[in-house]
Structure 1
Amino acid sequence: MASPTYRITYKGSVAKELRKIDRQTQKRLLAAIEGLATNPRPDGVKKLKSKYDQYRIRVGNYRVVYEIADGQLRVLVLRVAHRKDVYLR
């Protein structure tokens, strides 16, 4: 049985964050985000403490913070930022 495919959605500020990143890293980040559609909890994923259903994946020196809504088969990307900046908000 094939695993379900999740729909990827983005918080509005993610596009602005991605524009600040060089093209090669953007491509790596977008490939990792697209991979969440088939596997929202890949190897190396970390559930964030004190956050309900928020997770983060590492892509080089960048982090992708997202929420998983299993009931709706949806992944909401909340933040994409350099590791030194991602948890400041």
Structure 2
Amino acid sequence: MAWKVELTETARKQLTRLDKTQAQRITKYLRRVMMLEDPRDAGKALTGNLRTYWRYRVGDYRVICEIRDAELVIVAVEIGHRSEVYG
């Protein structure tokens, strides 16, 4: 059972604005998460007003995602430096 990763338009733009090395690192990480039985094993549940989302750490960058179990889809909604992504 393989998961599918989708990026919102915002996340896609944020990824393209990163330097090439960092963008490739994030893409490679998301490909590994897709192969997991449960993508939650590699992430952490967020709290507060972001409690419906999960975050993945890729160095100093974070990928904020919504996990849709019924569709086997991980939707990346935000990608950015850890100091900026939660704001």
TM-score interval, normalised by the smaller of the two chains: 0.7 to 0.9
SS of aligned partner of 1:28: helix
Aligned pairs, how many? 84
Larger Rg: 1
The one-letter code sitting in structure 1 at the alignment partner of 2:45 is: K
Unpaired runs of at least 5, structure 1: none
Equivalent residue runs for 1:1-89 within 5 Å? 4-39=1-36, 40-43=39-42, 45-50=43-48, 51-88=50-87
Gaps spanning 5+ residues in structure 2: where?
none
Alpha-carbon RMSD: 1.3
With the length of structure 2 as denominator, give the TM-score of the two structures: 0.87
The code of the aligned residue for 1:75 comes to: I
TM-score (norm 1): 0.85
Post-superposition offset of 1:34: 1.4
